[in-house]
Every structure is written in C-alpha cells, then in structure tokens.
Chains A and B, each alone.
Chain A
Amino acid sequence: MASLVPCPNCGRRPKEEFTIKGAALSRPGADADSENWFDYVYLRDNPRGAYEEYWHHTSGCRRWLVVMRDTLTHEVAACRDATDGSRSERRK
C-alpha cells in the first residue's frame, strides 16, 4: 500500500491513520438522469495506474483529502485537502 501519505495539513503520516472512502468522482447534478446516477453510485473503472481517491485523516487532522496514487506501484503522486478543489465541494 501507499504506506506514507503526505497530508497537506500534517506532513507524512502512515496509512494506518487514514480511512479510505473510494474513488473521487465528480458528483452528477441533482437533476441528472438515473443512468448517470447509477454510474456514479455503482460503476467503477478499477484502473491499473493513476487513481484519485477520497481519504479521511481519521487519526490526524480529521480532514477529507484527495489522494492521487498509482494502483500498480502504490506511489502517491499528490495529496490535497478536498476543500481546495472546486467551490462546490466546499463544506458550507
């Protein structure tokens, strides 16, 4: 596994401190058709290589992060706070 995760708030921390939610996908609009929602909720590509996931730093800063890792080599390419992305993702 990607055993050391560079948390943007805490620095490098072992994976044991984190909880993985799953792929970081863009959420369809509320009025999107059922096919889009079915795809978003159930269908995953399981790629060999670069993958973006939501990780929660449960035993650290307790922030949701987006970790970009390689599913083959387990190298972590980037890690950012989930709120640093689009404004729509930001918790109000």
Chain B
Amino acid sequence: MSEFRPTLRPALGSKQPVASATFGLSTLPEGTIIHVLARPGEQDVAHLLASLNGSDPHALRPVSPDQWFIVRDAAMPNQEMKGLFAALEPRASGVDQSHGRVRIRIEGKMAQRALSKGTALDLDSSAFPVGQSAVTLIGHIAAHITRVSSDAFEIIVLRGFAESLWDDLTRMGLEFS
C-alpha cells in the first residue's frame, strides 16, 4: 500500500485576505455547495427548493435554466444531505459539490469596479441587483457571481481554478488596496 496519504486542506488556505477601506477579498468557509438539476419539463422546482431551504438569504442561487446551487457556510451532515436528495426526487436531482467548488467574497466600494475589469457582465445595481446570480467568465475562468449586498459579491469557482482566480482578483484590486 502506498505511503501517500491525501490531506484535505482549504484550496485557498495559503492566501492572505485583502482588506482595505475600499476593497476587500476573503475566502469563505468550505461548507456546503449542492448543485440541483431539475428534470426536463418540471415546473416550479424553485418553489420546492425555497420551501426546503428555509429563510436563509442567498442560500439558493440560480445557475442556469432549471439549475441551482444550494449554499451553506457549515458542512451538511451526510444523513441530512441524503434526506435532502430524497426530498428532491423525482422532480430534481442534487449533486454534492462541496469539495469541488470554492467560494470567494469580494467587497468594498471599489469591488464592482475591480470585478468589472475581468468580466463583461453588467454589474451596475440596476442590471444586477442584490440577490442576482450569473455564470460568466472572469478573465479566462468560468465563475458564478452573486451580488449579496450593494457592494459585496460572492464568487463560486471550481476548486482547481480557485488559486488562479484569487491571484487575478488580487491583481484587479491592487490599485484600490
């Protein structure tokens, strides 16, 4: 048997958060991310998900037509997740992405300006209000962006791209920090 033992460590564990008056960059806990995919033709799955999710704001994030992310800061126990997946069937299916995707928070008065350097998405609050989500490119990396308050965004990115995206975001915010 191999001597090699993989250790689970945070994808962005070695990164220093950026905090200045107008620009902040921080990692979020690697809690729970569940990708939910509705069966073709199913209506109103969003309502089902909202009822399962309680009142936590921004816990349910649209990804694309008939797809959502369920996001929590805390890790979800295995039994609870099994229960959730069972409750979704047969109208939708859940896939645990907690270790596959990483969340990054970008905030501050200049966060929108900094983020706009990397994406063609219109981030103005009239076009992209609080609670809105979108999948887009940041540089060459596909990412899921959600506006969580007027000057804070959460980015969900594939784990393997997280470090690279973090470095890009740091560079985009250099002039503000």
Contacts and interface: CB of A to CB of B under 8 A. Distances in A.
B75 interface: no
Interface in A66-81: 81
A89 interface: no
B49 interface: no
Interface string B142-173: 10000000000000000000000000000000
B59 to A, nearest CB: 21
B136 A62 contact: no
Interface size of A as a range: 10 to 19
B120 A10 contact: no
B136 A63 contact: no
A92 B40 contact: yes
Interface size of B as a range: 10 to 19
A28 interface: no
Contacts of B142: 58-59
Interface of B: 40, 63-65, 120-122, 127, 134-137, 142
24 contacts: A10-B64, A10-B134, A10-B135, A10-B136, A11-B127, A13-B120, A14-B120, A17-B120, A17-B136, A17-B137, A58-B142, A59-B135, A59-B137, A60-B64, A60-B136, A61-B63, A61-B65, A61-B135, A62-B64, A63-B64, A63-B65, A81-B65, A90-B40, A91-B40
Interface of A: 9-14, 16-17, 58-63, 81, 90-92
